[in-house]
């Protein structure tokens, strides 16, 4: 089926078009630049930017794919989780298109779409930083590690259309959010992820030891008797530890070793993310893992995930980076899976749900 996907959950306006598992176009407009001076995404600005960007992005996507709205078999839209006002723009646009063209509409879970994108047979996986896609179908017991500005989660997917389980997640800040907050603290600007990633290469990650949240035995338990946060993360204590560390250098009148702090912070984040993700896979007999989300661009996260997966006999897949960050193609990809599985469309009666649970693949 030819499926049009719409994404507007955060600061990217995305329209993607797929035919089954073939990617025809992935068109994205980002309002990131407009948030820079605030040091983070401002929901009201993001919503207004979606309003401005939607129609031009849709036109461009249809042009690039060489199709018209009449050719489309189904429309898919992110209905959650995400920023309520931002989601509302995409959902209203999708409903309007569905009503005007009389096409079936699917309300899609953004997080599950980050996994569904792994099915797309897009050209240039390796060149654009990704590994090969899954061919034909996803493995029947797939782990997905999603790390972005809004989410840090480990999922188990037994069926992309109806069996998705949340194994663990952050209990406070998302990893990308922690990068952005620490970068601000170090005076590195927004978005903080790429800046810290780059600076960390010149620093000594062992110069300072920052805490790995929720790793004490009382939280971890054992595989047989898991503790309350065995597969969960917490990054707010780490952020505080970095702030204290910077204060101490300043109180002593010393220069802050910014590169060392960046490297040590990054090591703490990446170490605890990868160790818990691999643990969750091992405990659940998962031997295939997909890494997604904007922080998948992080060089150290990719390196350590690869290393630790290899050591545990887990095959790692990383979609090309433009498909890891928020985009419409992933929404279209999951929509196509739902159409092919014969899942009923959502109709136009649904509302966006900013905290849509990952167990709800489609509303």
- Name the residues that contact Mg ion, by CB under 5 A: 10-11, 326
Q: Please, what is the minimum distance in Å from the beta carbon of residue 299 to ligand ATP?
A: 7
Q: Please, what is the minimum distance in Å from the beta carbon of residue 128 to ligand ATP?
A: 14
Instruction: List the single partner that 298 binds among ligand ATP, Mg ion, Fe ion, none, CB under 5 to 8 Å by kind.
Output: ligand ATP
Give the integer Cα–Cα distance in Å for 119 and 124: 14
Tell whether residue 326 is a contact of ligand ATP (CB under 6 A). yes
Is 8 flagged in the annotation as binding?
A: no
* One of 295, 329, 330, 336 touching ligand ATP (CB under 6 A): 295
* One of 232, 288, 326, 353 touching Fe ion (CB under 5 A): 326
Query: Which residue number, 11 or 197, has a Cβ lying nearer to Mg ion?
Result: 11
Q: Please, what is the minimum distance in Å from the beta carbon of residue 90 to ligand ATP?
A: 12
Of 55-63, 190-198, 226-234, 254-262, the segment contacting ligand ATP by CB under 6 A is 190-198
Query: Which residue number, 267 or 326, has a Cβ lying nearer to Mg ion?
Result: 326
Query: Which residue number, 202 or 222, has a Cβ lying nearer to ligand ATP?
Result: 202
123-152 mask for ligand ATP (x: CB under 6 A)?
Answer: -------------------------xxxx-
Is 213 flagged in the annotation as binding?
A: no
Query: Which residue number, 25 or 327, has a Cβ lying nearer to ligand ATP?
Result: 327
Is 147 flagged in the annotation as binding?
A: yes
Q: How far is CA 137 from CA 83, 99, 113, in A?
A: 31, 31, 14
Query: Which residue number, 82 or 203, has a Cβ lying nearer to Fe ion?
Result: 82
HEC states along the chain? CEEEEEECCCCEEEEEEEECCEEEEEEEEECHHHHHHHCCCCHHHHHHHHHHHHHHHHHHHHHHHCCCHHHCCEEEEEEECCCHHHHHHHHHHHHHHHHHHCCCEEEEEHHHHHHHHHHCCCCCCCCCCCCCCCCCCCCCCEEEEEECCCCEEEEEEEECCCEEEEEEEECCCCHHHHHHHHHHHCCCCCCHHHHHHHHHCCCCCCCCCCCCCCCCHHHHECCCCECCCCCCECCHHHHHHHHHHHHHHHHCCCCCCHHHHHHHHHHHHHHHHHHHHHHHHHHCCCCEEEEECHHHHCHHHHHHHHHHHHHCCCEEECCCHHHHCCCHHHHHHHHHHHHHCCCCCCCCCCCCCCCCCCCCCEC
Query: Which residue number, 39 or 226, has a Cβ lying nearer to ligand ATP?
Result: 39
Is 50 flagged in the annotation as binding?
A: no
Is 283 flagged in the annotation as binding?
A: no
Tell whether residue 197 is a contact of ligand ATP (CB under 6 A). yes
Q: Please, what is the minimum distance in Å from the beta carbon of residue 293 to ligand ATP?
A: 5
Helix 236-251, helix 258-283: angle, nearest 10: 160
**Cα radius of gyration (the chain):** 20
Of 89-97, 135-143, 244-252, 290-298, the segment contacting ligand ATP by CB under 6 A is 290-298
Give the integer Cα–Cα distance in Å for 201 and 267: 11
Q: Please, what is the minimum distance in Å from the beta carbon of residue 30 to ligand ATP?
A: 8
Q: Please, what is the minimum distance in Å from the beta carbon of residue 180 to Mg ion?
A: 11
Interface residue list for ligand ATP (CB under 6 A):
9-11, 82, 148-151, 176, 179-180, 191-194, 197, 293-295, 297-298, 325-326
Interface residue list for Fe ion (CB under 5 A):
148, 326
């Amino acid at each position: 089926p030819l499926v049009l996907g719409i994404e507007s959950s955060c600061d990217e306006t995305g329209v993607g078009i797929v035919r089954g598992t073939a990617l025809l176009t992935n068109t994205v407009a980002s309002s990131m630049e407009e948030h820079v001076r605030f040091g983070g995404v401002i929901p009201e600005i993001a919503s207004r930017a979606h309003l401005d960007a939607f129609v031009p992005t849709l036109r461009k996507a249809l042009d690039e794919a060489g199709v018209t709205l009449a050719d489309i078999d189904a429309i898919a839209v992110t209905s959650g989780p995400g920023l309520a006002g931002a989601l509302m723009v995409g959902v209203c646009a999708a409903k309007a298109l569905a009503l005007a063209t009389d096409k079936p509409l699917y309300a899609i879970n953004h997080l599950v779409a980050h996994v569904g994108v792994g099915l797309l047979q897009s050209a240039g996986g390796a060149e654009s930083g990704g590994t090969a896609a899954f061919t034909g179908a996803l493995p029947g017991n797939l782990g997905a590690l999603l790390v972005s500005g809004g989410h840090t989660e480990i999922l188990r997917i037994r069926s992309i259309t109806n069996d998705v389980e949340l194994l663990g997640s952050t209990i406070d800040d998302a990893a990308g959010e922690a990068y952005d907050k620490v970068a601000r603290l170090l005076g590195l600007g927004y978005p903080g992820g790429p800046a810290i990633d780059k600076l960390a290469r010149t620093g000594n990650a062992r110069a300072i030891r920052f805490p790995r949240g929720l790793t004490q035995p009382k939280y971890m338990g054992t595989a047989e008797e898991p503790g309350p946060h065995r597969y969960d993360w917490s990054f707010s204590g780490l952020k505080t530890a970095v702030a204290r560390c910077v204060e101490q250098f300043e109180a002593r009148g010393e220069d802050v070793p910014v590169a060392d702090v960046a490297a040590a912070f990054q090591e703490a984040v990446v170490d605890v993310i990868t160790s818990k993700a691999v643990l969750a896979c091992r405990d659940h007999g998962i031997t295939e893992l997909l890494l997604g989300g904007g922080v998948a661009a992080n060089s150290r996260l990719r390196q350590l995930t690869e290393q630790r997966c290899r050591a545990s006999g887990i095959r790692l897949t990383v979609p090309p980076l433009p498909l890891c960050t928020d985009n419409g193609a992933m929404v279209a990809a999951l929509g196509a899976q739902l159409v092919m599985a014969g899942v009923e469309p959502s109709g136009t009666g649904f509302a966006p749900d900013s905290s849509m649970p990952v167990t709800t693949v489609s509303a």
